[in-house]
Structure 1
């Protein structure tokens, strides 16, 4: 019991220590003048991103607002969404200020989806969760923090982002990797995260399984194929970000199983040339968003939290998701950028595999298929 409590406290502390940042809204002109005079400053930054220590100090500082008190909410999300939310959040903060006359501070925490889920359940207070898969959101629901039926509380069954799995190779594709079947060949080193801790890695696993099962293969054939692929996996990082770092920064592996959006973002940032394949049989990676009812009711932050969730579906926000490689769920924006994405001839979703509850039990529970595959590797 003591070890379990220590483990829970450690997961919360790590989430806060390593990933929690804060967006502060721009100060109104009278507020800026008052603060500048009091602090002896000649200029002020319009936005500030601070670490948790600075955020703690800011909480003690009363912001001067002409039309209402400040409001704070916390967004907890998975690692690869960070680049998009860093652009979306300032737009929402400015919009809320214009319309409501109220300053909003949005704290953010990013990490592996499974780890983030555990941190929220164990006490990391999130007003909004945007995780890598609905299964993680359901775990928070089962913990009593989110009310049942959250899927119907936002547009598109609360799916706010979409992507597919990409096979990212070294520049020039020296191993001539062209399809799913190549990943099982001897001598091919495959990099993917651990599906026990990473939502992205679960999508990768299901994409591998579907490469056989959705093309007429039997369960036995799918198991044989996926087992061979994982024999080619030298390491299992805890989340998609660490897997990307292993591939990009440490030079490990011949091919990285990755979100398509992560490949696009890496190319934009100059980490690599966009050398990747989108397999024609692929899984729709659906990212949900939900308000954490117990937290927003405790804090009195429901109105701004629900408004933030709604804002994520607007063309403005969906364009920001698209800029970093996500496939938009907003129909108009999807039409604007459709030429940007390779078409997938056979796209399936988790419902076609039985839904997340069945998937968890079959593949990812302790002693289920993934654990058996891992046991066979040792």
Structure 2
């Protein structure tokens, strides 16, 4: 439960005279003015800073692509230099950190599921990201299967991952957005075939029950796969097409006939944004939908929200049935029914060990 100052009591007989309250307000106002003045002076003589927390699979695209490009854009627009304080981890991990009051001004989360957690925990007043273009979605990437070069196990789709001769890595859904999207891909690809939720849960149980724990994020799972663990890994398409994922040693893509498309969202953490930062924060968030940023994201393996950019020359292959989170019930239902089942399976597996 969040700390509520209204629950604190002054204690028997304690009083707060009006003159003291006025004095306290004046002192706070003066100190706030001095902090603002100091920050403004630093801007005039040095760089401005933005704190960005981002899910791990987008680390390369952000640190080597989008953020440096925005630095140039902002310098040309204002003459100011901007620097970034960044943190990259599984989407669930950075969501937990923000709930614990880590100072992110902008959060790039793997899905609306984590964004709604921030609403439920009082970090955000509501689904503020939905007022942005594309409801806060600025890139897309389908969930696909990574296999060894040449696909020696002959894996053709999700059902093959339940075979006893196939070793499978799964990212942890409690900390990783990739883990969440993996569970949703398994469930939704079967559910949408006949509109039967029982069939979706059956595929989830059969495949998830065989997977080995792949780590706290998509990036950790990718590293373990590259080191030789398992025969297959369900992950973001961008993790394979991106610059860090390229190369024969990292395996190749098996495109399921039906799979979910992950839709990362950008969220402004308003309680951490001071009034004097608002122009910079708003400009960076808007920049994510710019032509330049969209071109950079494609270069790093993410599909653009502008479908005309998602061409085969960029490495994007067609998928027979590409579905969204909304098509399988939306964030709340998916979290309760599908991710809840995945967590139950994880708990049962841990108990068995």
TM-score by length of 1: 0.77
Question: CA offset at residue 344 of structure 1?
Answer: 1.3
Question: Residue 267 of structure 2 is aligned with which of 284, 290, 294?
Answer: 290
Question: CA offset at residue 339 of structure 1?
Answer: 6.0
Q: Is the 8 A contact 2:119 2:127 kept in 1?
A: no
Question: CA offset at residue 208 of structure 1?
Answer: 0.6
In 1, distance between residues paired with 2:243 and 2:75? 33
Q: Which residue of 2 aligns with 1:43?
A: none
* Aligned pairs (5 A) from 1:1-378: 70-86=47-63, 87-216=65-194, 218-249=196-227, 251-265=228-242, 269-270=246-247, 272=249, 274-297=251-274, 300-334=276-310, 340-364=315-339, 368-377=340-349, 378=352
Q: Is the 8 A contact 1:236 1:243 kept in 2?
A: yes
Q: Which deviates the most, 112-121 or 350-359? A: 350-359
Q: Is the 8 A contact 2:48 2:80 kept in 1?
A: yes
TM-score by length of 2: 0.82
Change in Cα spacing, 1:116 to 1:271, as seen in structure 2 (3 Å) is: farther
Q: Is the 8 A contact 1:114 1:136 kept in 2?
A: yes
Question: CA offset at residue 220 of structure 1?
Answer: 2.8
Q: Is the 8 A contact 1:75 1:108 kept in 2?
A: yes
Change in Cα spacing, 1:68 to 1:370, as seen in structure 2 (3 Å) is: same
Segments of 5+ residues of structure 2 without an aligned counterpart are: 2-37
Q: Is the 8 A contact 1:78 1:116 kept in 2?
A: yes
In 2, distance between residues paired with 1:128 and 1:102? 19
After superposition, what is the alpha-carbon deviation per residue over 1:327-352, rounded to whole angstroms, capped at 9, x for unaligned? Answer: 00134534x66763111121111111
Q: Secondary structure at the match of 2:139?
A: strand
After superposition, what is the alpha-carbon deviation per residue over 1:186-231, rounded to whole angstroms, capped at 9, x for unaligned? Answer: 1211111011111111101110111211111633333232222123
Question: CA offset at residue 142 of structure 1?
Answer: 2.8
Change in Cα spacing, 1:157 to 1:92, as seen in structure 2 (3 Å) is: same
Q: Is the 8 A contact 1:315 1:330 kept in 2?
A: no
In 2, distance between residues paired with 1:116 and 1:194? 14
Question: CA offset at residue 308 of structure 1?
Answer: 0.3
Q: Is the 8 A contact 2:138 2:305 kept in 1?
A: yes
Change in Cα spacing, 1:68 to 1:329, as seen in structure 2 (3 Å) is: farther
Q: Secondary structure at the match of 1:242?
A: helix
Segments of 5+ residues of structure 1 without an aligned counterpart are: 2-59
In 2, distance between residues paired with 1:113 and 1:232? 24
Question: CA offset at residue 271 of structure 1?
Answer: 6.4
Q: Secondary structure at the match of 1:343?
A: coil
Q: Which has the larger radius of gyration?
A: 2
Does 1 or 2 have the higher relative contact order (CA < 8 Å, sep 6+)?
2
| Runs of 4+ residues over 6 Å off in structure 1 | 60-65
In 2, distance between residues paired with 1:114 and 1:268? 22
In 2, distance between residues paired with 1:291 and 1:174? 45
Root-mean-square deviation (Å):
2.5
Q: Which residue of 2 aligns with 1:27?
A: none
Q: Secondary structure at the match of 1:272?
A: helix
In 2, distance between residues paired with 1:354 and 1:61? 46
Change in Cα spacing, 1:185 to 1:271, as seen in structure 2 (3 Å) is: same
